[in-house]
């Protein structure tokens, strides 16, 4: 019985270990911190604009639809990339990993990950960039993660 309690307690930790560091690195450090504190030349506003808009400019459709709006879209992307980390941190602080606790913030964090990855996949697919390959993989992991947490929460709360 003790082993079962341990398993039910730690079974959600892999999601914190996967999603929180990913979005901390890609959202908080690369985008937010890099842009506002200019830590690295490539992580500055101009560096990200050169990289992202440069990729978009390679295809006529994204050059027309997305490049002119980079200065409006990039702040939204920055916020979207920070959001999963914030939601996962709230979930962890609320100890949602404990058995019998609602996983509302954990599901919100994974859903935010799924949403931001989908938005990135959309633009990168239209632009035909190589980044779309890892984004599709992360999208799949996010989808499976949300499904797993949702089903496990139902199973734990219905016992």
The mean of the pLDDT values for the chain is 89
- In this prediction, residues 78-107 reach a mean pLDDT of 93
Q: What pLDDT sits at residue 56?
A: 94
Cα 67 from chain centroid? Answer: 23
The structure's pTM equals 0.87
- In this prediction, residues 118-124 reach a mean pLDDT of 92
> For the chain, what are the domain ranges?
3-158
Q: What pLDDT sits at residue 41?
A: 57
Select from 118, 88, 84, 80 the least CA-distant residue to 106: 88
Report percent pLDDT > 70 for the chain: 94
1 pLDDT more than 90: no
Q: What pLDDT sits at residue 153?
A: 80
Q: What pLDDT sits at residue 85?
A: 95
143 pLDDT more than 90: yes
pLDDT tens-place string over residues 55-86: 999 999 999 999 999 999 999 999 999 999 99
pLDDT tens-place string over residues 11-58: 889 989 999 999 998 888 888 877 887 666 567 888 889 999 999 999
Element (H, E) at 78: helix 70-93
Select from 47, 64, 152 the least CA-distant residue to 102: 152
């Amino acid at each position: 019985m003790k082993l079962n309690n341990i398993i039910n307690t730690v079974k959600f930790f892999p999601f914190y270990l996967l999603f929180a560091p990913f979005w901390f690195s890609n959202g908080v450090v690369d985008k937010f911190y890099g842009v506002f504190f200019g830590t690295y030349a490539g992580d500055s506003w101009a560096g990200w604009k050169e990289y992202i808009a440069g990729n978009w400019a390679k295809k006529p459709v994204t050059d027309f639809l997305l490049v002119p709006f980079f200065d409006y879209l990039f702040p939204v992307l920055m916020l979207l990339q920070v959001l999963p980390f914030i939601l996962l941190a709230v979930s962890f602080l609320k100890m949602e990993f404990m058995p019998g606790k609602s996983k509302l913030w954990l599901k919100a964090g994974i859903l935010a990950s799924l949403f931001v990855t989908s938005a990135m996949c959309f633009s990168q697919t239209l632009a035909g960039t190589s980044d779309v390959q890892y984004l599709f993989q992360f999208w799949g992991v996010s989808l499976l993660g949300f499904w797993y947490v949702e089903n496990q929460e139902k199973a734990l709360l219905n016992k």
